[in-house]
């Protein structure tokens, strides 16, 4: 019997904001200057912003993140240079934001104008202005800087274990990480402790393994602890682990006539989104649509359009963590 290790990850409904890392030197409001969670775009309210070492980001236009409607603190880490090359523009951040200049980083104004021609403002208070001249790091304006900038934290069942993976874009005074596990998201046990990087200016990947995962639904969370004993928790990741669920992927009728409805039975869970794709043997796509499975034992119904030529096809069903494929004959 083929064994299918079903993987099911759920993410709690929480507000998520991007990690925007400079892609090179350029203007703040130019999309090509940034990669925000892998997408070229200008940072928005709530994002964490990292100007990488060797990059100079220039503010030539007003950047006001303190306007009504932007109440989410922002965290900016400058490892390169943030410069104001023209007279007039300001950078305004919401309350409780942090602007941290790392070793080798700088905040400067090279443009014309007087002492307040350019300034950095947090929560309505000017914390730096042109007259203060270039500020180098390490230095922090506003709230205490984030001890780490976490890009992602994932838990993925694989065979008889759960792989735990997280990425950090930067670390400040970071002593160690703790991975905790729970059966109810209320009571937690420590299962893994991993040394942190201390201070880091680069993207780091951590991979650990839970070799004794719990059957059914369990929860994982990441805890970060500073050298001074301060700590913070990150998002909870629920995982469904079923060790010996049999593989099931059935099409009927198969062969099928045009204008009939194909029924699909597979090991997907209720309310799981499944992408169904039908391609011919040359890879040409004839059908692609996302379906929601309404119940655990419900069938997925796919209408076979009369315009599809008779022949042999491959039907592919994909969820977030599972993929099935099988040949389909259309007569």
Evaluate whether residue 30 is within a structural domain: yes
Regarding beta strands 204-210 and 189-200, do their DSSP bridges make them parallel or antiparallel, or are they unpaired? unpaired
Binning pLDDT at 50, 70 and 90, where does residue 321 land? low
Widest CA span in the chain: 79
Tokens linked to 100: 């941290």
Q: What is the pLDDT of residues 245-280, one digit of tens each?
A: 555 678 889 899 998 988 888 766 667 788 889 988
Q: Looking at the structure, do residues 116 and 40 belong to the same domain, yes or no?
A: yes
Q: What's residue 188's pLDDT? A: 92
Regarding beta strands 98-101 and 139-142, do their DSSP bridges make them parallel or antiparallel, or are they unpaired? antiparallel
Evaluate whether residue 14 is within a structural domain: no
Evaluate whether residue 56 is within a structural domain: yes
pLDDT at 17 over 60: yes
What single DSSP character describes residue 307? T
Q: What is the pLDDT of residues 56-85, one digit of tens each?
A: 999 999 999 987 778 888 888 888 999 999
Binning pLDDT at 50, 70 and 90, where does residue 7 land? very low
Binning pLDDT at 50, 70 and 90, where does residue 11 land? very low
Mean pLDDT of 45-53: 86
Cα(230)–Cα(42) distance, rounded to whole angstroms?
A: 32
Mean pLDDT of 178-183: 94
Question: How far does CA 204 lie from the centroid of its chain?
Answer: 15
Q: Looking at the structure, do residues 239 and 321 belong to the same domain, yes or no?
A: no
Evaluate whether residue 1 is within a structural domain: no
Q: Looking at the structure, do residues 138 and 34 belong to the same domain, yes or no?
A: yes
Q: Looking at the structure, do residues 73 and 153 belong to the same domain, yes or no?
A: no
Q: Looking at the structure, do residues 107 and 212 belong to the same domain, yes or no?
A: no
Angle at alpha carbon of residue 116, lines to 111 and 120, rounded to 5°: 90
303: how many CB neighbours lie within 10 A of its CB?
A: 12
Evaluate whether residue 4 is within a structural domain: no
Report phi then psi at 186, rounded to 5: -120, -45
Evaluate whether residue 111 is within a structural domain: yes
**Rounded mean pLDDT of the chain?**
82
Tokens linked to 48: 């964490």
Domains held by the chain: number: 3
Q: Looking at the structure, do residues 153 and 215 belong to the same domain, yes or no?
A: yes
Regarding beta strands 106-109 and 81-84, do their DSSP bridges make them parallel or antiparallel, or are they unpaired? parallel
Q: What percent of the chain has pLDDT over 70?
A: 87
Instruction: Give residues with Cβ within 8 angstroms of 130, minimum separation 6.
Output: 84, 109, 113, 114, 115, 116, 117, 118, 119
What single DSSP character describes residue 31? G
Regarding beta strands 216-226 and 161-182, do their DSSP bridges make them parallel or antiparallel, or are they unpaired? antiparallel
Q: Which of 243, 270, 303 is where one domain is finished?
A: 243
Q: Which of 226, 243, 260 is where one domain is finished?
A: 243
Evaluate whether residue 238 is within a structural domain: yes
Query: Domain span at residue 280?
Result: 248-330
Say how many Å lie between the first and final Cα of the chain, rounded. 31
Cα(312)–Cα(126) distance, rounded to whole angstroms?
A: 69
Evaluate whether residue 301 is within a structural domain: yes
Q: What's residue 8's pLDDT? A: 30
268: domain CATH number is 2.60.40.1930
Cα(251)–Cα(258) distance, rounded to whole angstroms?
A: 15
Instruction: Give residues with Cβ within 8 angstroms of 225, minimum separation 6.
Output: 174, 175, 176, 177, 178, 196, 231
95: how many CB neighbours lie within 10 A of its CB?
A: 15
pLDDT at 229 over 90: no
Q: Looking at the structure, do residues 298 and 183 belong to the same domain, yes or no?
A: no
pLDDT at 111 over 90: no
Q: Which of 176, 209, 243 is where one domain is finished?
A: 243
pLDDT at 4 over 60: no
Cα(162)–Cα(241) distance, rounded to whole angstroms?
A: 8
Q: Looking at the structure, do residues 132 and 163 belong to the same domain, yes or no?
A: no
Q: Looking at the structure, do residues 170 and 209 belong to the same domain, yes or no?
A: yes
Q: What is the pLDDT of residues 136-172, one digit of tens each?
A: 988 888 876 667 788 778 888 776 788 899 988 778 8
Q: Looking at the structure, do residues 232 and 256 belong to the same domain, yes or no?
A: no
Least confident range from 129-143, 221-235, 287-301: namely: 287-301
Closest listed residue to residue 34, CA positions, set 3, 65, 80: 80
Q: Looking at the structure, do residues 41 and 135 belong to the same domain, yes or no?
A: yes
239: domain CATH number is 2.60.40.10
Q: Looking at the structure, do residues 180 and 235 belong to the same domain, yes or no?
A: yes
């Amino acid at each position: 019997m083929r064994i299918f290790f079903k993987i099911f990850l759920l993410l709690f409904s929480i507000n998520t904001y991007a990690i925007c890392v400079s892609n090179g030197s350029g203007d703040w409001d130019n999309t090509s200057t940034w990669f925000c969670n892998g997408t070229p775009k200008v940072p928005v309210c709530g994002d964490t912003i990292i100007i990488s070492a060797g990059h100079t980001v220039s503010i030539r236009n007003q950047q006001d993140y303190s306007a009504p409607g932007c109440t989410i603190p922002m965290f900016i880490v400058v490892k390169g240079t943030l410069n104001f090359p023209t007279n007039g523009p300001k950078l305004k951040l919401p309350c409780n934001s942090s602007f941290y200049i790392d070793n080798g980083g700088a905040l400067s104004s090279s443009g014309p104008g007087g002492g307040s021609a350019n300034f950095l403002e947090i929560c309505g208070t000017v914390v730096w202005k042109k007259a203060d001249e270039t500020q180098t790091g390490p230095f922090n304006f506003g709230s205490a800087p984030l001890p780490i900038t976490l890009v992602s934290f994932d838990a993925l069942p694989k065979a008889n274990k759960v792989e735990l993976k997280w990425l950090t874009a930067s670390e400040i005074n970071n002593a160690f990480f703790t991975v905790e596990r729970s059966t109810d998201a209320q009571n937690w046990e420590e299962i893994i402790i991993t040394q942190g990087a201390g201070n880091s200016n680069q993207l780091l990947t951590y991979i650990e393994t839970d070799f004794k995962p719990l059957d059914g639904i369990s929860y994982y969370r990441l805890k970060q602890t500073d050298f001074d004993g301060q700590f913070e928790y990150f998002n909870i990741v629920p995982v469904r682990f079923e060790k010996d669920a049999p593989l099931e992927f059935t099409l009927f009728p198969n062969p099928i006539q045009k204008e009939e409805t194909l029924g699909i039975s597979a090991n997907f869970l209720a309310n799981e989104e499944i992408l169904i794709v039908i391609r011919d043997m040359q890879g040409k796509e004839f059908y692609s649509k996302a379906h929601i499975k309404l119940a655990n034992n419900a069938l997925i119904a796919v209408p076979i359009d009369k315009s599809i030529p008779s022949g042999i096809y491959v039907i592919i069903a994909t969820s977030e963590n599972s993929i099935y494929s099988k040949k389909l004959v259309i007569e």
